[in-house]
Amino acid sequence: MFIPIFIYKITHSLPATFFFFSIYHAAAIPGGWLAGKIAQRFGLDILEFSSGILRCFFLLLLMLAKIFPGLIWPAAGLWGITIPFCWLPYYYTVSERANPKHIGETVSKLDIIAKVMVGLGPFLGGLIIAASDFSMLYLVAIVAFLISGAVIFLDDFDKKDMRLDFGKMLVRFWRPSLRKFWLGLVGEGIEAEVYSVAWYLFIYLTVSSYITLGGIQSVSLLVSILLLWLVGRWIDKKGPEILNWGVVGNVLNWIIRPFLLTGLGIFIADLFYKLLSVFIWTPFQTVTYERAEKMEKLEFFIQREWVGHISGLGTSLLLVLISKRFGLNWAPIFSLAIVGLLMCTLILTPGVRTKTAVK
């Protein structure tokens, strides 16, 4: 969450900050295919270990960018290439180990663990930056990446020699039965880009405090944990249609955000956003994992990465144009998030959750 602010402080430009993320997304597209080839040849553990090492180099480039600002551009490319190296092993492992009848509960449990582990991260990160600078924060992150890279070899799960057919992957993109599913993933990518980049910049430019920014994120994350378990069990019993409730609530949330002027207002809006997001992303991820069960998993998760980063690339380029045209007028920027959320509902369209295998 602090990377957009760091890039903004170096470039002093919203368009340049958004362009940084367009490079990141552009690099992640071929990075997905490279990650697939490494996983197929050497296994998921080697792939994830490589992710940790490469992200350490990315953070080193950011540390040096305080002296040589031009390094942010190759850093963006390196970061983009490494992201699929991290997420492909995670998606694949969850898909392999989850009980198909209780995927919703599994997704909610994993989200609870993630929120518990990283809930205090934004607040502590804000304290570190306020007490020292971004370099110290990046140094702490490098140590964490190195430790996590070693730990992955302690589990009993690894896999390689999976099918990876580029031609079949391209054909699958154009199948009419999957069109709305892919569009739902596009919506996820659009909303995620606005939230993870533009929203954090909005908070920083409004409150101008790293500690406040981190505190808002930490409290919102921890409170949302209370809902996760209940939502996961609901999805397994009743289905993922609860997603629509969350979309309606967060569309209203995005509508009011450009008018927020105080830290308290931002905190309340972000708290409700996190709570409502539980109703969106838990069923959304459940439907995604259900779809993975009907496909070749490695191919499917690479395609998921491609769709997310292609939509992120398009969104970041649109943000460059919007910020050049409207400056700090946040309404047109946040309107993209509304479009993305509405597209997410397509993943629930009848036929998307078909039982038929799609190889």
Instruction: Please report how many Cα atoms fall inside a 13 Å half-sphere around the Cα of residue 181, on the Cβ side.
Output: 24
The answer to whether residue 137 sits within a structural domain is yes
- Give the separation between CA 215 and CA 213, rounded to whole angstroms: 6
**How far is residue 130 from each of residues 6, 41, 212, 249, 309, measured CA to CA in Å?**
13, 44, 10, 34, 32
Which residues have a Cβ under 8 Å from the Cβ of 284 and sit 6 or more positions away? 184, 188, 240, 243, 344, 347
Going by the DSSP 8-state scheme, the letter that residue 242 receives in this structure is: G
pLDDT string in tens for the chain (359-residue length): 678 988 999 999 999 999 999 999 999 999 999 999 998 888 888 888 888 888 888 888 988 888 899 999 999 999 999 999 988 888 887 777 666 565 655 665 555 555 555 544 445 555 555 556 555 656 666 666 555 555 454 555 556 667 888 888 888 888 888 999 999 999 999 999 999 999 989 988 888 655 555 555 566 666 666 566 566 556 656 566 778 888 999 999 999 999 998 888 888 888 888 888 888 888 898 888 888 888 888 899 999 999 999 999 999 999 999 999 988 899 999 999 999 999 999 988 655 554 444 55
pLDDT value of position 119: 47
Residue 172 sits in a domain of what CATH number? 1.20.1250.20
The answer to whether residue 98 sits within a structural domain is yes
- Give the separation between CA 317 and CA 20, rounded to whole angstroms: 10
- Give the separation between CA 75 and CA 140, rounded to whole angstroms: 18
- Give the separation between CA 284 and CA 241, rounded to whole angstroms: 9
The answer to whether residue 161 sits within a structural domain is no
Tally of domains within the chain:
1
- Give the separation between CA 35 and CA 82, rounded to whole angstroms: 8
The answer to whether residue 248 sits within a structural domain is yes
The answer to whether residue 285 sits within a structural domain is yes
Q: What is the extent of the structural domain holding 106?
A: 3-155+166-347
The answer to whether residue 358 sits within a structural domain is no
Residue whose C-alpha is closest to residue 187's, from 346, 1, 48: 346
Alpha-carbon torsion 319, 322, 323, 329, what sign? negative
Rounded to 5°, angle at Cα 64 from 61 and 65: 85
Helix (H) or strand (E) holding 25: helix 14-42
State pTM to two decimals: 0.82
The answer to whether residue 352 sits within a structural domain is no
**How far is residue 160 from each of residues 40, 42, 86, 163, measured CA to CA in Å?**
5, 6, 15, 9
The answer to whether residue 359 sits within a structural domain is no
Instruction: Please report how many Cα atoms fall inside a 13 Å half-sphere around the Cα of residue 334, on the Cβ side.
Output: 20
- Give the separation between CA 86 and CA 3, rounded to whole angstroms: 18
- Give the separation between CA 207 and CA 126, rounded to whole angstroms: 13
Going by the DSSP 8-state scheme, the letter that residue 262 receives in this structure is: S
DSSP string, 179-217: HHHHHHHHHHHHHHHIIIIIIHHHHHHHH--HHHHHHHH
